[in-house]
Amino acid sequence: MLRHAAKVLLVVVALVATTVKADRDVATAQRRKPVIVSRIFTGPDGETHAENIETKLAPQGRSADSELLNTVKVSGLQFRRTSPKYSLDFHPAPTRQYVVTLSGRGEVELEDGTKIPLTPGHILLAEDTTGKGHMSRGVGSEDRLSLFIQLADN
């Protein structure tokens, strides 16, 4: 089960990576758009804060056409569907987890008013497992399908 969940995570990361379009110009062919993860975490003040992290993908084998992230140990995986009317008041994340939006739209809002749009392909790393947490809500007119990938304790 754990190996299967890890494989699914790698597939999701690979799918996101394939959506990154490389510039066809010869001079910039090797530069690719970075894969960004929005991380939310509890600061020393007990409030949830956000930062964007560039994921470090490394070339796979001898081919420059494929890149991988080092394996991440996971403990579980869930698909979740929420309606556009979905709204959840402030809450901490139940566990450290990646949340990958597959379709539809949503957003996470922090106490300071910061809003993080959750659009298809967006990767959120929720690590605000203590404190007041964040709000979550649906946006738009269609259901949002997302993948919750719980991280294993190291």
Please give the pLDDT value at position 23.
39
| Mean pLDDT of the region 96-120 | 98
CATH topology (fold) of 2-151: Jelly Rolls (2.60.120)
Average model confidence (pLDDT) for the chain?
Answer: 85
For residue 5, pLDDT beyond 90: no
Q: Name the residue ranges covered by the structural domains of the chain.
A: 2-151
- Helix/strand/coil percentages in the chain, nearest 5: 15, 50, 40
Q: Is 141 exposed, middle or buried (0-12, 13-18, 19+ CB in 10 A)?
A: exposed
Please give the pLDDT value at position 30.
57
| Better pLDDT: 56 or 99 | 99
For residue 24, pLDDT beyond 50: no
pLDDT in tens, 113-141: 999 999 999 999 999 999 999 999 999 99
| Mean pLDDT of the region 35-43 | 97
For residue 17, pLDDT beyond 70: no
